[in-house]
């Protein structure tokens, strides 16, 4: 579950630190923004559009920004994203009318479209063949913890300053800008750091096809895995933003009890994230991927049958642990699929993560429609059924042997086996893993 200090790449530490500080910053901003929008006189429907606008912009721009990360470099793309995102907090501190909030939110979405593919590609490149899921797990855990801390800090800061939103947004700006130093100091472009210096003189370039995929290998069916991302994130997002309503209106819990449940589930995530990352790396990725669908199904049944504090708390913990299980396994799967053409790694990861974004948007929309039309019970039953279908779909995509991506029999070796030094012990010519 834990990496040895000698195994940890400083670039990974930089990415984890960036993720923690970024989510800490936007935990603060995300908590304060809807309140500030309401303070400016915006309606609930307008606030709903505002908070979802960044995801819509991210979906629209990610197919363009992900290839740009491959072309200009992951470090440059991430640095640019951090710079643009930092400006968001500063501009919010100066915004005074609703239309400015919408423009700033669009800018936030643009920064995320640059950032997400770059970060995931860096982790995929530097995470290590046998520890990539753990790397994704620690990154995700750091973000989740920082988000919770940021929201709590925002509430305290607003209370202490008598709802001075400018101070809160400036605090978010300062925290968002800090990762720039970490990235510039410790992160190096993967291409320059990928091949050890003592081996570069003996490397002999081998012919590669224009796509960068070695002869005899075929790219996995990206569209199918894109669909898996839509299904898994969509079912997970069906209740994520509506849990307070579910707890208070459906189960009859108080706001204080709902807050306690959030604290309990956050504690569970801290433990579950690294644990599931280790399981994905060392036991079975397929098993860990299945945990997300199992958690969706079980939590939905618990919400229906035990609408009490204990039942809702248990369901929430199960649901959040399923989310903690999905991210490291999904990250490792994206790393493997993108390794088939490493020159286009960020683009491939960008397309795959686009499925997650679409699921995050479509899930709450489906929930709202079902809840308004037939009630919460139908929402929970639908969520459970979709989770079962998602699990069947994932079984079709992920092969049992080695939990490798299904490529219709065309992939006979793990992509990392085509990296530097494969076969060197048999006297074969050592070659670079770069396309």
pLDDT the model gives residue 215:
54
Residues above pLDDT 70, as percent of the chain: 82
Domains and CATH numbers, the chain: 11-188 (1.20.1250.20), 221-403 (1.20.1250.20)
pTM to 2 decimal places = 0.76
pLDDT the model gives residue 3:
52
| Interval 105-122 mean pLDDT | 90
Per DSSP, helices labelled H in 96-131 are 98-126
Match 């933003």 to its residue by tokens: 241
* Structure confidence by residue, pLDDT tens digits, 30-75: 888 888 888 888 887 788 788 888 888 999 999 999 899 889 888 8
- Torsional sign, CA 88, 91, 96, 101: negative
Range with lowest mean pLDDT among 67-71, 126-130, 396-400: 396-400
pLDDT the model gives residue 102:
93
The residues pairing with 425 across neighbouring beta strands, listed in sequence order, are none
Q: Is 398 strand, coil or helix?
A: strand
Match 């990250």 to its residue by tokens: 331
Half-sphere exposure of 271 (CA within 13 A, CB side): 6
Q: How far apart are CA 36 and CA 38, in angstroms?
A: 5
Burial (CB count within 10 angstroms: exposed 0-12, middle 13-18, buried 19+), residue 83? middle
Per DSSP, helices labelled H in 375-427 are 376-397
Range with lowest mean pLDDT among 171-180, 305-314, 336-345: 336-345
Q: Which two tokens mark 320?
A: 């959040």
| Interval 240-255 mean pLDDT | 80
- Asked whether 343 and 212 are in contact (CB, 8 A), the reply is yes
- Torsional sign, CA 143, 146, 152, 157: negative
Cα–Cα distance list, 43 to 36, 138, 327 (Å): 12, 38, 34
Judge whether residue 428 has pLDDT over 70. no
């Amino acid at each position: 579950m834990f990496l040895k200090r000698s195994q940890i790449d400083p670039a990974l530490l930089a990415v984890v630190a960036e993720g923690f500080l970024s989510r800490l910053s936007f935990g603060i901003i995300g908590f304060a923004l809807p309140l500030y929008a309401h303070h400016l006189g915006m309606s609930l429907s307008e606030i709903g559009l505002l908070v979802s606008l960044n995801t819509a912009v991210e979906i629209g721009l990610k197919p363009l920004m992900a290839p740009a990360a491959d072309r200009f470099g992951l470090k440059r793309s991430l640095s640019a994203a951090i710079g643009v995102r930092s400006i968001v907090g500063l501009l919010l501190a100066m915004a005074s009318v609703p239309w400015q909030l919408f423009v700033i939110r669009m800018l936030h979405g643009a920064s995320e479209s640059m950032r997400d593919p770059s970060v995931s590609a860096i982790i995929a490149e530097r995470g290590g063949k046998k520890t990539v899921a753990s790397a994704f797990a620690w990154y995700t855990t750091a973000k989740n913890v920082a988000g919770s801390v940021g929201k709590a800090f925002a509430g305290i800061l607003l209370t202490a300053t008598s709802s001075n939103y400018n101070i809160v947004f400036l605090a978010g700006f300062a925290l968002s800008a800090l990762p720039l130093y970490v990235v510039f100091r410790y992160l190096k472009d993967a291409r320059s750091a990928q091949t050890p210096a003592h081996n570069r003189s003996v490397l002999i370039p081998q012919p590669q096809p224009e796509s960068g995929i070695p002869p005899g290998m075929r790219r996995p069916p990206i569209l199918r895995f894109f669909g898996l991302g839509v299904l898994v994130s969509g079912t997970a997002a069906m209740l994520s933003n509506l849990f307070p309503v579910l707890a208070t209106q459906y189960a009859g819990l108080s706001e204080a009890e709902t807050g306690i449940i959030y604290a309990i589930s956050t504690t569970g995530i801290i433990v579950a994230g690294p644990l599931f990352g280790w399981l994905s790396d060392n036991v079975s990725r397929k098993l860990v991927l299945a945990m997300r669908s199992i958690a969706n199904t079980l939590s939905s049944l618990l919400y229906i049958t035990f609408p009490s504090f204990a039942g809702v708390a248990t369901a929430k913990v199960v649901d959040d642990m399923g989310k903690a299980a999905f991210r490291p396994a999904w990250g490792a799967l994206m790393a493997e699929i993108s390794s088939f053409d490493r020159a286009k790694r960020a683009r491939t990861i960008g397309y795959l993560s686009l499925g997650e974004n679409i699921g995050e948007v479509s899930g709450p929309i489906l929930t709202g429609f079902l809840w308004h039309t037939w009630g919460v019970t139908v929402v929970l039953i639908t969520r459970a059924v979709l989770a079962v279908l998602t699990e069947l779909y994932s079984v079709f995509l992920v092969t049992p042997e080695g939990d490798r991506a299904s490529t219709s029999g065309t992939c006979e070796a793990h992509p990392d086996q085509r990296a530097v030094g494969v076969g060197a012990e048999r006297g074969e010519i050592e070659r670079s893993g770069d396309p």
